[in-house]
Amino acid sequence: MTEKTSPTVNSFVSQNRGLILSLLALVVLPFIVGLFEGASLGAVWQNESGTSKFVQGLAIEIFILAIYALSYDLIFGITGLLSFGHSMFFAAGAYLSGILLKSFDLSLGMTLVWVLVIAVVNAFLFGIVLPRVKGITFALVTLGLGSVFHIVIMSREVGDYTGADVGLQAVPVPEFINPATHRLTFYFVAIVLLLVVYFIYKRFVDSPTGRVCVAIRENEDRAKMLGFNTFYFKIVALVLSSVTAALAGTLHTLYQPIVSPNTAGLGFTVTALLIILIGGVGTLNGALVGAAVYRLLDFGLRRYLGESASFINGAIYILIVLYLPFGIVGTWRMQSAKITEGRKRLLKLLKLEK
């Protein structure tokens, strides 16, 4: 690709350098943590309990959150659709996989197929209102759809399957990926899935379809006038997002292996929103960084401050939004561009002085 044909293309190599490094770090992380504690590599490999296993668990939660946040970034950050019912996509995956594994004894493969089908149906459910409502109205309609789902999940009529307000308990997890006995396997499966989702999203955003989604976010009327039927593009984004979120939900069920009705609530949608606000809206990388910051901050504060953690947590989020208005990744990109420019200007100036 020549310089002239694509001025918008980012420096792909330098971006992936950070990714490869962090990936390597994540692969050795369980073993390093184990060594610090004096556990042998073999012990870590055998999934013996210890700090390493605990850290793996925390990391798995981050990966699941990251996949979920990526899916929200696609519809909110990239396509510009503000949805307040996004947790429904996640919870549908989580509940469905749990119910199919527990009450219907389906294999993991069949479960995944069903999750995929229902995720697509969900996306279309959100999609049918798209041509009629925009902006904040869309947010409210999706909030309504999500709330209906939440109420249905909690209702006593389906309690035999969903566990009503207690949640879905004791989901049988296939042994080869059981997080209690095979956590390291689960850890690597989660990393691989996160990577696959991340690269699919990267490619999507850089594809002709994704570019139109960005155009819709920027100025939907203009996109229509260029000749794009924006409805179809929004549906594509919703389907991809819903499938991803449902995958994250399935992983969540397999890992926990319980499903709380909270995953269907508005609070969990706000979690996704918060994660990408911290990381940087519309940056994709921001969802990964944001998920890590969100989970670690929550974990750390809760450990040392106990009950008052959420208060401090909230204060930190306010500070982040105030001082990093484009999120960590967004602000970083902007600043590094400024620094490069400033350095160029400085060099020019110094030459002039000579």
Q: Given the rule CB under 8 A, which residues bind other proteins?
A: 1, 4-9, 203-204, 206-212, 214-215, 218-219, 221-230, 232-233, 236
Of residues 155 and 336, the one with the C-beta less far from other proteins: 336
Q: Tell me the closest approach of the beta carbon of residue 220 to other proteins, in angstroms.
A: 10
Of residues 37 and 218, the one with the C-beta less far from other proteins: 218
Q: Tell me the closest approach of the beta carbon of residue 214 to other proteins, in angstroms.
A: 7
Q: Tell me the closest approach of the beta carbon of residue 139 to other proteins, in angstroms.
A: 22
| Structural element, H or E, at residue 115 | helix 108-127
Q: Tell me the closest approach of the beta carbon of residue 144 to other proteins, in angstroms.
A: 27
Q: Tell me the closest approach of the beta carbon of residue 233 to other proteins, in angstroms.
A: 8
> What three-state secondary structure class fits 116?
helix
Residue 188 contacts residue 26 (beta carbons within 8 Å): no
Q: Tell me the closest approach of the beta carbon of residue 273 to other proteins, in angstroms.
A: 20
Please report where in the chains the tokens 């307000």 appear, as a residue: 165
> Could you tell me which of 186, 343, 162 has the C-alpha nearest to residue 260?
162
Q: Tell me the closest approach of the beta carbon of residue 105 to other proteins, in angstroms.
A: 36
Of residues 206 and 298, the one with the C-beta less far from other proteins: 206
Of residues 9 and 113, the one with the C-beta less far from other proteins: 9
> Could you tell me which of 27, 31, 28, 26 has the C-alpha nearest to residue 41?
31
Of residues 105 and 221, the one with the C-beta less far from other proteins: 221
Rounded (10°) CA dihedral 73, 76, 82, 83: -40
> What residues form DSSP beta bridges with 259?
168
Of residues 212 and 278, the one with the C-beta less far from other proteins: 212
Q: Tell me the closest approach of the beta carbon of residue 231 to other proteins, in angstroms.
A: 9
Question: Token pair for residue 310?
Answer: 């959420």
Please report where in the chains the tokens 């397999």 appear, as a residue: 254
Q: Which residues of 66-97 are buried (b: 16+ CB within 10 A; e: fewer)?
A: bbbbbbbbbbbbbbbbbbbbbbbbbbbbbbbb
Instruction: Give the separation between CA 321 and CA 313, rounded to whole angstroms.
Output: 12
Angle at 58 between CA 54 and CA 60, to 5 degrees: 110
Of residues 242 and 260, the one with the C-beta less far from other proteins: 242
Of residues 188 and 228, the one with the C-beta less far from other proteins: 228
> What three-state secondary structure class fits 133?
coil
Residue 223 contacts residue 208 (beta carbons within 8 Å): no
